[in-house]
Structure 1
């Protein structure tokens, strides 16, 4: 079993033989963290508040809200968005297990082998189509970065990892919390004075950092100390590497995406028609109506069935493994040679 661990989520690669399912990657999320992110627990009503009339629709509880978001994520259907296959919930633990199809990340950062400008454009067009679709479905990703962009069998990018995503009503999300990967955070998310900020502009900034990584192999702002990194993001001008062998069009797009002012930062519709993205009109991206299907809605039944409740994931894995091996011995007994050869040795990487 290989484990890739971020700040609060872990990614498990599980053999389909263990679970008898069609997915081969599993992300483990904290239900408490998701509920806090959704705004729970909320303050109780003030004393003396009037009773809610009978028959008035009750606000959704914390887990109901989480399950509703999962139901929508499971219905996302786009060639540039990774497919969420199943979600398992262990009621006795603070874990949700999100099973998905797996592919390799487009690149690791930092790297001394950045992408060519043409290859970066190819992947960026995919990223742009995927983000436009998510925004159309009223979802802010909030953690766009190269390691969350997976290359599918068809060679195209699929956006993954919705562990810190936000759903919104209306035309944009007004966010107040700071989540995501430090080097990809927008300056407005780190402001001590700004009370809220645009979710769409936040994703555009992270897309700009990602494009910078594509062509230069590094983030524009780096520091081992988080507070110093935050200060650089907020105050340091964006400077492209000296003698950068990239086109003027790409330089223009990068600087417009990495505009520290979210009010003047370029938007997704504007990026879609930028000369660098379209090769001056030679490779136009599809209009929103063609790229985005109808707005996804979920029924109460789909919300109720959005997760599969299991007594204990460890028990399920254990039983399935025993049945597969037709043995009631402990399949995780490392003293047995045949068991050692049938399981993958642990290794770990940090993201």
Structure 2
């Protein structure tokens, strides 16, 4: 479960307002609905609820208690650093899942922007599912032209680390982060690391990727990682090229499915945006029901609460009576 602060979203936009009720006259509203920060969140939720791919976490439901600040949105494959990295075969298995998941997101014009092992969850079937779209971007056209930095520093691409504002390719950012992730898979650590952010940025921008002597990996895998960690986004390998790479396909013996075979178009209507969040009277009621289901206790929970309340009242009365008698006892009455 993920919790988004509605107040923080409003604060970022400079004012506190709720979305107007459905059917209200927008012409009388001094702040058009589209300008409200929550509207963007609701649109993102509507999109994510319709995404359906084996390698992308499925958003089931979003709960919104009008009286609470939180907007509640419903085991990583690897913890980094680790002394127990994957074998090449294990890394290939998980990496192929990541490639298909990212291709699916890019097909639906979504840039993830924070690909890393901790955002790759392991499903019950042993396959990777991409999660956490907290800094993702939706784009129009063939690619996203981004100018703001987001994501985890050790997984950021070098073109993001510039003193002057400039635009860079969103797809190329995801490919770079995938390269860092693949390096983590086989070595258990990031290719560029420093505890000081300025030094880290300098290493990412200028230092070539180095491969430790142990564990020993194939030349094909090294070549793929080098092409993904190409500091020039213009010449960096692309997702379609990665899908055809000899290491990924095991020299063509295990090809990945074509884009049209695992990607389907998603259209989001205005009605789906409006209904993307389920309003509930009280989140505590939902938590109570879930607790009952988990404990398999299907009695009336409010009856138990009533009994506890009655016992508390009786206990308080008893203590009050006891304290009231103490002065009389001291006086000998």
- Contact between 2:66 and 2:279, CA under 8 Å: does it hold in 1? yes
**Larger % of helix: which?**
2
| CA apart distance, 1:152 | 1.1
Mark the CA change 1:329 to 1:115 in structure 2 (over 3 Å): closer, same or farther. Answer: farther
Partners of 2:78 and 2:302 lie apart in 1 by: 37
Partners of 1:249 and 1:33 lie apart in 2 by: 46
Does residue 284 of structure 2 align to residue 310 of structure 1? no
Report the TM-score when normalising by structure 2.
0.79
Does residue 37 of structure 2 align to residue 60 of structure 1? no
- Give runs of aligned pairs for residues 160-199 of structure 1, distance below 5 A: 160-199=131-170
Partners of 2:119 and 2:233 lie apart in 1 by: 23
- Contact between 1:29 and 1:163, CA under 8 Å: does it hold in 2? no
Partners of 2:33 and 2:302 lie apart in 1 by: 48
- Give runs of aligned pairs for residues 45-194 of structure 1, distance below 5 A: 60-62=34-36, 63-99=38-74, 104-194=75-165
Instruction: Tell me the residue number matched to 1:328.
Output: 305
Question: What is the CA RMSD across the aligned residues, in angstroms?
Answer: 2.6
Matched residue of 2:4: which SS?
A: strand
| CA apart distance, 1:240 | 1.6
Partners of 1:194 and 1:200 lie apart in 2 by: 18
Matched residue of 1:195: which SS?
A: coil
- Contact between 1:34 and 1:66, CA under 8 Å: does it hold in 2? no
| CA apart distance, 1:228 | 2.1
Partner of residue 269 from structure 2, selected from 277, 291, 299: 299
Partners of 1:32 and 1:189 lie apart in 2 by: 29
- Contact between 1:35 and 1:66, CA under 8 Å: does it hold in 2? no
Partner of residue 280 from structure 1, selected from 248, 251, 254: 251
Structure 1: runs of 5 or more not aligned: 1-25, 43-52, 332-351
Partner of residue 231 from structure 2, selected from 260, 274, 299: 260
| CA apart distance, 1:227 | 2.4
Partners of 1:147 and 1:133 lie apart in 2 by: 20
Partners of 2:211 and 2:102 lie apart in 1 by: 24
Matched residue of 1:327: which SS?
A: helix
Partners of 2:202 and 2:129 lie apart in 1 by: 32
Report the TM-score when normalising by structure 1.
0.75
Query: Larger RCO: Structure 1 or Structure 2 (Cα < 8 Å, ≥ 6 residues apart)?
Result: 1
Larger Rg: 2
1:134-161 superposed Cα distances (whole Å, 9 cap, x missing partner): 0000011111111111111111111111
Partners of 1:329 and 1:225 lie apart in 2 by: 56
Instruction: Tell me the residue number matched to 2:175.
Output: 204
Instruction: Tell me the residue number matched to 1:239.
Output: 210
| CA apart distance, 1:282 | 0.5
1:65-101 superposed Cα distances (whole Å, 9 cap, x missing partner): 22111101000000011111111223344432101xx
Mark the CA change 1:270 to 1:36 in structure 2 (over 3 Å): closer, same or farther. Answer: farther
Structure 2: runs of 5 or more not aligned: 16-26, 293-299, 309-333
Partners of 1:257 and 1:182 lie apart in 2 by: 17
| CA apart distance, 1:173 | 0.7
Mark the CA change 1:289 to 1:36 in structure 2 (over 3 Å): closer, same or farther. Answer: farther
